[in-house]
């Protein structure tokens, strides 16, 4: 995957996500823009989706489901879950492609209080 700043990185996918992308790639071959290096193509043989188009699509699907969602919410959720379950901060930085601990603090801050309370309960109350 090519990320921000044209940095290339490997991403890890679960089994179900890998299967879904495999099915999509087989269908994608019939699209008039199948030659594009971009992964996500527009419907009805439209051009590849832009970052803004993907943002809008995810937001719209969230609205339809009654959930406030945007692409970075997935990163926040992943980062919070990783740290909440005791994941290593250095490993999280590597998985997210961060080179600065500042990013770790930014993404970890959104749920730091929740994690601190859970840790307290586990240590002090044996939960």
pLDDT in tens, 51-75: 899 999 999 999 999 999 998 899 8
Selected residue with higher pLDDT from 1 and 98: 98
**Considering the domain boundaries, does residue 56 fall inside one?**
no
d(CA 71, CA 59): 8
For 39-48, what is each residue's pLDDT tens digit? 999 988 889 9
Yes or no: say if 45 and 34 are a contact pair by the CB < 8 Å rule: no
Percent of the chain predicted with pLDDT > 70: 98
**Considering the domain boundaries, does residue 108 fall inside one?**
yes
Looking at the structure, do residues 37 and 72 belong to the same domain, yes or no?
Answer: no
Looking at the structure, do residues 76 and 124 belong to the same domain, yes or no?
Answer: yes
**Considering the domain boundaries, does residue 100 fall inside one?**
yes
Percent of the chain predicted with pLDDT > 90: 44
Looking at the structure, do residues 33 and 77 belong to the same domain, yes or no?
Answer: no
**Considering the domain boundaries, does residue 13 fall inside one?**
yes
Domain range enclosing 6: 1-49
Selected residue with higher pLDDT from 77 and 19: 19
Secondary structure letter of residue 1 according to DSSP: -
**Mean pLDDT computed over every residue of the chain:** 89
Selected residue with higher pLDDT from 2 and 90: 90
Rounded mean pLDDT of 6-15? Answer: 85
Looking at the structure, do residues 35 and 85 belong to the same domain, yes or no?
Answer: no
Rounded mean pLDDT of 105-111? Answer: 78
At what angle are helices 89-96 and 101-109 packed, to 10 degrees?
A: 100
Q: What is the CA radius of gyration of the chain?
A: 18
Question: Count of domains in the chain?
Answer: 2
| 87 closest CA partner among 96, 15, 14 | 96
Looking at the structure, do residues 39 and 75 belong to the same domain, yes or no?
Answer: no
Looking at the structure, do residues 123 and 85 belong to the same domain, yes or no?
Answer: yes
């Amino acid at each position: 995957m090519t990320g921000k700043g044209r940095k290339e990185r490997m991403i890890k996918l679960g089994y179900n996500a890998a299967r879904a992308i495999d099915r999509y790639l087989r269908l994608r071959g019939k699209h008039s823009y199948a030659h594009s290096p971009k992964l996500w193509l527009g419907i009805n043989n439209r051009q590849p989706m832009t970052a803004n188009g993907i943002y809008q699509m995810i937001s719209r699907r969230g609205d339809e489901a009654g959930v406030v969602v945007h692409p970075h919410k997935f990163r926040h959720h992943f980062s919070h879950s990783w740290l909440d379950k005791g994941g290593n901060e250095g490993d999280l930085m590597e998985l997210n492609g961060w080179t600065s601990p500042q990013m770790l603090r930014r993404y970890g801050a959104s749920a730091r209080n929740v994690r601190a309370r859970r840790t307290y309960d586990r240590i002090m109350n044996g939960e």
